Amino acid sequence: MLDPQLLRNDLEQVKATLALRGFTVDYEILAHLEAARKQCQIETQQLQNERNRHSKAIGQAKSAGEDITPLLEQVSQLGEQLKAKEDKLLAIQAHLNDILMRMPNLPHETVPVGTSEGDNVEIRRWGTPPVFTFTPQDHVDLGHQLGLLDLEIAAKITGARFSFLRGSLARLHRVLIQFMLDLHTQAHGYVEVYVPYLVNAESLRGTGQLPKFVEDLFYLPSQDYYLIPTAEVPVTNISRDVIWETDQLPVKFVCHTPCFRSEAGNYGKDTRGMIRQHQFEKVELVQLVKPDDSYLALEELTGHAETVLQRLELPYRVVSLCTGDLGFAAAKTYDLEVWLPGQQKYREISSCSNFEAFQARRMKARWRDPNTNKPALLHTLNGSGLAVGRTLVAIMENYQDESGRIAIPQALQSYMNGQTHLT
């Protein structure tokens, strides 16, 4: 959530900055509500002061032995007026908060200006896409020929956008998770956590999925829980209503979970194979840091995700998302895009974002600033380290040979008991 003080003191600048994201709001209503809030707050304060004066007068009249009945009636009337004003103030504030909860984060000054993914800026590349002497197949055909990927069984069990893996492919999928967790805990200093896969609405509001993205969520009305769209939600909410001490920062968590998304906004997009599914696995990196450290932390976190691709020797590129392609809560995002020979293009495999205080303000996630000895808002960051299904797809397509066999990356062979190929 944006700082309400920004809207009160610098509304025009906020308006101009959000316009870079293609976001508009009825600023006349916002200004009207803010003016009404101010006036109502003043009137509420005046009534409180008046009631206090009358209450004091009652005490004095009692001491003097005077009749306090008229004063009691006045205090009662003031109490009713005050209750009405307080209710009105709460209603105005609720309306303002609803508007604020639907406003995206302000992009950082280093974010490239643009309207769509075509305006994203490539930062760097690593590795060289493989050159084949044959026409490379995509992961669906490769998996089908090997008898290891069966989308028809998944469709029979559930429906579209699910997958069924068997044998060595299912094992490689599991091995990827273990490899990523080992790397991030042993080499990058993250603490592994295990979290619920069902969360309440407050957790989703805290990270920004609600109220804006309700259609993308799977909801269980009988329990009033939501299936998590990403581990970002439960892991970041560990810090909700928490004040961290300086010596505890930075906090670095890594977590593997399944993720569940309705893909309501992507109807008809990436319907083939495992690229965009309703259920998929992800290893998530989350950092909670002091505000002054958050952009260095973003570079570090992005590097940690890149290391996974480098260890697996998968060619990729890093792009900085433009203002029009930023996620709702992000102030700045780097996407890692891995090369997929079956599509002959780079596809997203990780998004690494700095949310600054946007999520922390919603969650009241704070740290104790030693300069003031008072609580201040943290900055939160997260990124995929990596999306497991897409990593599996990238291995299948980049490590294929003409016969349809798939080599197992050297870094994973020890996890596979020395197995060198999927067969």
Q: Check 276, 311, 368, 405 and give the catalytic one.
A: 276
- The span from the CA of 243 to the CA of 269, in Å, is 42
Q: Check 261, 361, 362, 366 and give the catalytic one.
A: 261
- What pLDDT, on the 0 to 100 scale, is given for residue 265? 67
Tally of CB atoms within 10 A around 373: 7
Residue 351 annotated in active site: yes
Quote the distance between the C-alpha of residue 1 and its chain's center. Answer: 13
Output the known binding site for ATP.
261-263, 348-351
This prediction has a pTM of: 0.92
Q: Check 43, 50, 86, 348 and give the catalytic one.
A: 348
Tally of CB atoms within 10 A around 36: 16
Tell me the pLDDT tens digit for each residue of 232-279.
999 999 999 999 999 999 999 999 999 999 987 666 787 789 999 999
Domains and CATH numbers, the chain: 26-102 (1.10.287.40), 117-422 (3.30.930.10)
Residue 116 annotated in active site: no
Mean pLDDT of the 190-215 span: 96
Residue 253 in tokens: 């968590």
State the Cα angle at 228 between 226 and 229, rounded to 5°: 120
Residue 27 in tokens: 């600023």
Can you state the angle between helices 167-186 and 294-311, rounded to 10 degrees? Answer: 140
Q: Please, which residues have CB within 8 angstroms of residue 84's CB and are 6 or more apart in sequence?
A: none
- The span from the CA of 7 to the CA of 340, in Å, is 44
Residue 276 annotated in active site: yes
Output the known binding site for L-serine.
230-232, 261, 284, 382, 384
Q: Check 161, 351, 353, 362 and give the catalytic one.
A: 351
- Which residue in 134, 156, 152, 135 sits closest to 144, CA to CA? 152
Output the known binding site.
230-232, 261-263, 284, 348-351, 382, 384
Residue 210 in tokens: 């609600």
Q: Please, which residues have CB within 8 angstroms of residue 111's CB and are 6 or more apart in sequence?
A: 320, 321, 322, 323, 326, 331, 332
Tell me the pLDDT tens digit for each residue of 131-170.
999 999 999 999 999 999 999 999 999 999 999 999 999 9
Comparing 305 with 264, which gets the higher pLDDT?
305
Measure Cα distances from 117 to 20, 324, 329, 377 in Å: 14, 8, 17, 31
Residue 390 annotated in active site: yes
Burial of 16 (0-12, 13-18, 19+ CB in 10 A): exposed
Kindly tell me the sign of the dihedral angle through the C-alpha atoms of 414, 276, 237, 198: negative
